[in-house]
Structure 1
Amino acid sequence: MSRRRWHILREGDRVTVARRLPVRWDLAAETTLPDACRVRVAQQVRQDMWRALQDLRGFAPVVQVTRVDGGLHIVAGGEVAGAVARQKLEADISQVLNCPKRRVRWIRHAQPKKVLA
């Protein structure tokens, strides 16, 4: 899927990456991370959540990253067409958000690039 099909909304300290507009939250999970580039973190979380839930028909992912108190507050989830087991899906998203290996990769990817003189 091309990047042009994803919406990136910037509102102050908040960045939202969404598949569809307007954003709808049928299910969601939350976590916090150290401060980093909000757009890069949102894209990485979106990719991993999309991979974990790719078999869920009618799923339109949304990731919202807000800079708070020197860190990032992340809400991930989105819109689902039809009836679903909400608690199970939210637990699946929470697993993605709290996977130590993914978290390290997200932060590493989102750190500013160092310029060598």
Structure 2
Amino acid sequence: MRHKSWHILREEGALTLCRQTPARFDVAVRAELPLADPLRVSQQVRQDMWRAVQSTRGFSPVVRIERSEGGLLVTAGGRVAGRVPSNLAAKIAAVLEDESKRQRWVRHAQRRVSSGSGLQNAQQAEKLRKCAAEFDKGSESAP
């Protein structure tokens, strides 16, 4: 079975993961997370959000990650073909506020940073810094 492609749109200081372009938020909820790989975080948030709201007819998830003072500002939601259900924002907020999910997202997005030697940690921290610097590149779409 062939899966439709996901678009990864990069702007200065932000990354947006969406199925359809242009990305549109008919419903949106925000949360803050510690600094981590924005692409990995966006994929994990999208996956958990979809599991929670997949029964919503015409829903297409969108996750936007922006750099903030203390880490990452996550905007999760998406476009809805038709009427937006009144409980949709609450369902998405429940996903973003679930502490076990938040810890898993950050752990997954930082998993390359091991507890090994100081040199390994420095190298992994540099990789994470470079990944965060990718925010500042132009827009691209994944195949």
TM-score, normalised with respect to structure 1: 0.91
Asked if the contact 1:58–1:81 (Cα under 8 Å) also holds between the matched residues in 2, the reply is yes
Asked if the contact 2:25–2:78 (Cα under 8 Å) also holds between the matched residues in 1, the reply is yes
Of stretches 52-61 and 98-107 in structure 1, the one that deviates more from structure 2 is 52-61
Between structures 1 and 2, the one with greater strand share: 1
Within 5 Å, which residues of 2 pair with 1:81-92?
A: 81-86=81-86, 88-92=87-91
Identical aligned pairs, as a percentage?
50
CA distance in 1, matches of 2:88, 2:113: 38
Structure 1: state its 5+ residue gaps: none
CA RMSD, Structure 1 to Structure 2 (Å): 1.6
Q: Which residue of 2 aligns with 1:105?
A: 104
Please give the per-residue CA displacement for 1:42-77, whole angstroms capped at 9, x wherever unaligned: 000000001111111111100000011131001000
Between structures 1 and 2, the one with greater helix share: 2
TM-score, normalised with respect to structure 2: 0.75
Larger Rg: 2
Which structure carries more relative contact order (alpha carbon 8 Å, separation 6+)? 2
Structure 1 counterpart of 2:102, one-letter code: R
Name the count of aligned residue pairs. Answer: 115
CA distance in 1, matches of 2:85, 2:113: 44
Structure 2 counterpart of 1:42, one-letter code: S
Query: How far apart are 1:85 and its partner, in Å?
Result: 2.1
Query: How far apart are 1:83 and its partner, in Å?
Result: 1.3
